[in-house]
């Protein structure tokens, strides 16, 4: 009898639940909206119903080894409690792991969503052939995860990998975390839109202003489209994104000397607009990166900076991987 796990990707907008077997094959996926305004009990109920539906469908032919849940927020790993979750109002200090285990009567693995995505990329994605990887997720904010020897590195209390709150400009924009100049304020989709609005406010970005007036859902994607069309103000914004990423990656490369660093999330689709500046900044700031890039010695290992491969499925796959990994599969 084969084995399978249930992976859950709980976001502020969507809830995705998938049955995934031990080879990584997605047997079935359920996607619904996350109606956070109805309260956490409503979301938990909907999640449990979806989990039970999938579990019951495949239990006749496979063994369920557990449930993995990726959530956006800071998690206290020992207790399975969400400490903070800005996109899930009312979930702070909520013992999610215990609550779902009580309802379903099976083992639950609770994990930060960026950590889960990193594990997914390690298992089936861009990092499947390396032994260590750091992932930066460039979405509404900037998340991060670290996997070493196939296992998520949690740090002392489960909060390792907060790459989005690395300082890249000490006197920069105030961040929601209370610091200044965090990577999240320069390399997220939210940051790209903010920088575009700031440029419009100067009166020196006519194309950005026109795009904003024509589209009520003005977004980072539109700024990227203008950059690829040659608009200098939009290109300058992505130059800033690349510079910030290069500074952050230089520190990560110098500290970890990992074989691979992966960029995922929606804003990573602007790769061709920010990558040239990112690599220039990285090469200038990291002696470790310069040394590995410059070497032509036979068999010399290179530091790889690359795009994620699994897209929005990374977190779902990584969440399912947690119970499979715990079962030795």
Which tens digit of pLDDT belongs to each residue from 275-288? 999 999 999 999 99
Same domain, 139 and 75: no
What is 78-95 written as a DSSP string? TTTEEEE-TTSTT-TTB-
Same domain, 192 and 62: no
CA 69 to chain CA mean position, Å? 14
Write down the pLDDT at residue 24. Answer: 95
- Domain with residue 277: its CATH number is 3.30.420.40
Write down the pLDDT at residue 295. Answer: 61
Same domain, 156 and 203: yes
Distance CA(62)–CA(60), nearest Å, equals: 6
Percentage with pLDDT > 70 across the chain: 96
Task: Give every CB contact of residue 253 below 8 A, 6+ residues apart in sequence.
Answer: 261, 282, 286, 288, 289, 303
Locate tokens 């490369």: which residue? 253
Same domain, 97 and 134: no
In our burial notation (b when 16+ CB lie closer than 10 A, e otherwise), range 45-59 reads ebbbebbeebbeebe
Same domain, 270 and 136: yes
Same domain, 229 and 274: yes
Q: What is the mean pLDDT of the chain?
A: 91
Same domain, 31 and 109: yes
- Domain tally for the chain? 2
Q: What is the CA radius of gyration of the chain?
A: 21
Write down the pLDDT at residue 23. Answer: 95
Specify the pTM. Answer: 0.93
Write down the pLDDT at residue 38. Answer: 73
Mean pLDDT of 18-42: 85
Same domain, 304 and 318: no
Task: Give every CB contact of residue 65 below 8 A, 6+ residues apart in sequence.
Answer: 3, 4, 5, 107, 323, 324, 326, 327, 329
Angle between helices 206-214 and 232-256 in degrees, nearest 10: 100
pLDDT bin (cut points 50, 70, 90) of residue 115 is very high
What is the C-alpha end-to-end distance of the chain, expressed in Å? 13
Same domain, 164 and 253: yes
Same domain, 69 and 176: no
Same domain, 287 and 319: no
Same domain, 272 and 228: yes
Which residues span the domain enclosing 182? 129-308
Neighbours of 238 (CB within 10 A): 27
Please write the tens of the pLDDT for every residue from 77-104.
877 888 877 767 777 788 888 888 888 8
């Amino acid at each position: 009898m084969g084995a399978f796990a249930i992976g859950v990707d709980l976001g502020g907008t969507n809830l995705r639940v998938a049955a995934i077997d031990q080879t990584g094959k997605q047997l079935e996926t359920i996607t619904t909206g996350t109606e956070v305004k109805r309260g956490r009990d409503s979301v938990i109920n909907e999640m449990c119903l979806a989990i039970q539906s999938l579990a019951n469908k495949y239990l006749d032919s496979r063994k369920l080894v557990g449930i993995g849940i990726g959530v956006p927020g800071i998690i206290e790993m020992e207790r399975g409690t969400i400490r903070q979750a800005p996109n899930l109002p009312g979930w702070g200090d909520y013992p999610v792991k215990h609550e779902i285990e009580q309802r379903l009567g099976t083992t639950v693995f609770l994990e930060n969503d960026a950590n889960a995505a990193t594990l997914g990329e390690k298992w089936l994605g861009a990092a499947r052939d390396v032994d260590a990887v750091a992932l930066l997720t460039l979405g509404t904010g900037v998340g991060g995860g670290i996997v070493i020897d196939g296992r998520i590195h949690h740090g002392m209390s489960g909060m390792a990998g907060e790459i989005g709150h690395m300082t890249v400009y000490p006197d920069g924009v105030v961040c929601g975390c209370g610091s200044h100049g965090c990577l999240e304020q320069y390399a997220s989709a939210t940051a790209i839109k903010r920088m575009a609005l700031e440029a419009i406010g100067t009166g020196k970005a006519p194309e950005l202003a026109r795009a904003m007036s024509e589209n009520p859902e003005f977004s980072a994607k539109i700024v990227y489209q203008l950059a690829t069309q040659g608009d200098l103000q939009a290109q300058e914004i992505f130059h800033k994104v690349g510079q910030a990423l290069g500074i952050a990656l230089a520190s990560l490369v110098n500290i970890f000397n990992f074989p691979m660093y992966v960029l995922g999330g929606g804003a990573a689709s602007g790769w061709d607009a920010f990558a040239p500046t990112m690599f220039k900044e990285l090469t200038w700031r990291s002696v470790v990166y310069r040394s590995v890039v410059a070497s032509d010695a036979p068999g010399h290992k290179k530091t790889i900076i690359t795009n994620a491969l699994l897209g929005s499925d990374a977190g779902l796959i990584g969440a399912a991987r947690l119970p499979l990994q715990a079962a030795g599969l």
